[in-house]
Amino acid sequence: MNANTEFNPQKMAEMVFNLSKDYTATTIEALKTSTEQYEKAMNTLIKQGNVVQDEGQKLLMDWMAQAKQGQQQYWNLMDENLKKMGNLFNTTNEKRAAK
C-alpha cells in the first residue's frame, strides 16, 4: 500500500478537530452578534420605555450584566479548551517530526 493512501487516524482526528474548532468559532461569533443586538434592544427598552420603573430598570440591567458575564466565561472556557486540544495535536506532530 502506498504511504499516500494509508489511513492515518491521527490526521483524521486532526481534521475532525479542525472542523469542530471552525464550527465552534463560527457559532460563538454568531452568538456574540446576537447577544449584542439583544443588549441594544433591551437597553433601548429599559431606558426609553415607560413600562419599567427605576427599580425594575436596575434589576434588568443587573440581570443583563450577569448574563453577559456568564456568556463571557463560557466563551473563554471554550477558547481555552480548544487551545488545549490544538496543543495536543501540535505536540503529537512535533514528536512525530522529531523521530
pLDDT number for residue 45: 80
Three cell numbers, residue 31? 452568538
Residue of 99, 89, 86, 42 lying closest to 65 (CA atoms) = 42
Looking from the CA of 68 toward its CB, the CA atoms found within 13 Å total: 16
Which pLDDT band, with edges at 50, 70 and 90, does 4 fall under?
low
DSSP one-letter code for 32: H
More confident: 75 or 5:
75
Q: List, for residues 28-73, the tens digit of each pLDDT value.
A: 899 889 989 988 988 888 777 666 677 778 888 898 899 889 989 9
Please state, for a pLDDT cut of 90, what percent of the chain lies above it: 15
Look at the pTM and tell me if it is higher than 0.75: no
The distance of Cα 70 from the centroid of its chain, to the nearest Å, equals 12
Residue of 92, 98, 82 lying closest to 8 (CA atoms) = 92
Q: Which residues contact 17 (CB under 8 A, 6 or more apart)?
A: 85, 86, 89
More confident: 69 or 4:
69
pLDDT number for residue 1: 47
Question: What gap in Å lies between CA 81 and CA 83, rounded to an integer?
Answer: 5
